[in-house]
A and B are shown apart, each in its own frame.
Chain A
Amino acid sequence: MGRTAPPEVVLIFRGTHQVMSAEKNLKRAGVPMRLIPVPRRLTSDCGLAIRISHPDRDLARKVLSRARIIPRSVHILLDQEEYEEVPF
């Protein structure tokens, strides 16, 4: 089954400071991203997450690893409701 659009990836971090720090590093490296409220299906946290598109995943991993900001978990949005947890 083919996809019409590349799937989106949601990065969950430990705390708000780490989200802000990830945002700074991703923006500086030119990785397109959006801050989003953490989807309720992923955690009960009331904070922020970062959404990037799937083709940018490798670059994001490289940028964040270099800055030593490791996401708590990474999820691929399969459709409006379902996420699949994937390794960072």
Chain B
Amino acid sequence: MAETVARALGRAGNPGRSGHALSIRSARDLFVARERLAELFGARDSSRFVFTGNATEALNQAIKGILRPGDHAVTTSVEHNSVMRPLRRMEEAGVTVTVVPAGPDGAVDAKAVAAAIRRRTRLVAVVHASNVTGAIQPARQILRAARKAGAYLLLDAAQTAGSVPLSLSDLPVDLLAAPGHKGLLGPQGTGFLYVREGVPVVPLIEGGTGSRSESDRQPDFFPDALESGTPNSVGIAGLGVSLAWLLRKGIGAVRRKERELLEELVEGMGRIGNVTVYGPRDPSRRASVISFLVDGMDPAEVGRRLEKEFGVLVRSGLHCSPDSHRTIGTFPEGTVRVSPGPFTTGKEIARFLAALRKIAASRR
């Protein structure tokens, strides 16, 4: 992937702006990556995948492109700030927002989401799996409730895209947002928003698309409607390569591997007396994210020692999701988060557990 990005840097033409070889090459990189996204997520029409700089941009585009003054939106108490902050901004613009509280394991009850939907509800925005607890939300039941009420469902797949199987033909959400650099294994500065055909999204950004240049109006067809300005074709070329790897490997296989590692982690951490693990116990209800605390120890200190003494890099703190921590009772200190990926080995998990045992023992 990194080699592809380096090569693409040396030949980056502006896609769709010209008929010369370098422009065509970049246009093809974008097209190939889009086609692979459609294949990976079981969508028929790849033009509905709009490239963004990250999941945050995709979520902002979806939320601000759908909601209008007077609308009502439903979300949960375990959303990332990339959902909550745009929603709070829309509140200032005359949108009302209902936040459905999740349970102590970070999972939300679909019935509670359904009960929060009103006649004026236009958008239900839900994270597919919490970035703090890893809890996978009941997206299917939530989609059913949203459809019944005529509301659109935005699924934030930041923690699941590429690591938990998700097919749009099976779970036809209206809007799906994800970053390229997490489970999709691409470079930073890439992401996408999928918009189901017929879902009316007003562009967040307007400008040059290379198409309809004679008009000063934004094109209404996809992906051009929501993709203005020079794209990150260099990063997307890299994303195309990682998507090809995922298609070959299969997300089911990635999920199986990560689940095994999760089970080893949860079991191993459970055996350390003074470590508290958050999130669902059942690994099938958890994405590849585990939040934990060493009792009585600052999560930042645990993170620092894991890196300095053992070379294990983790994230500690609030993970940009304060409400998640209020939900599970870890606000304002936050937690330490460990997230095995498809290239993590059982040996590395064992090394991590040994390191954590030593750090936890120093506290007793």
Contacts and interface: CB of A to CB of B under 8 A. Distances in A.
Contact of A16 (B20, B211, B214): B211
Interface string B35-72: 10000000000110000000000000000000000000
A38 B214 CA distance: 13
Contact of B15 (A16, A24, A37): A16
A20 interface: yes
A18 interface: yes
Contacts of A46: 17-18, 210, 213
Interface in B1-52: 15-20, 24, 27-28, 30-31, 34-35, 46-47
B79 interface: no
Q: B-side binding surface: helix, strand, loop or mixed?
A: loop
Given A45-B212, A46-B213, A47-B210, A17 B18 contact: no
Interface stretch (B217-225, B243-251, B278-286, B313-321): B217-225
Interface residues of A, number: 19
A65 interface: no
B209 interface: yes
B31 A17 contact: yes
Contact of B27 (A20, A37, A45): A20
A14 interface: yes
Contacts of B224: 14-17
Contacts of B47: 17-18, 21
- B-side interface size class: 20 to 34
A44 B214 CA distance: 6
A14 B211 contact: yes
Contacts of B17: 46-47
A36 interface: yes
A33 to B, nearest CB: 13
A75 to B, nearest CB: 16
A35 interface: yes
Interface string A39-81: 0000111111000000000000000000000000000000000
5 contacts: A14-B219, A14-B221, A15-B209, A17-B222, A45-B214
Interface of B: 15-20, 24, 27-28, 30-31, 34-35, 46-47, 209-214, 219, 221-224
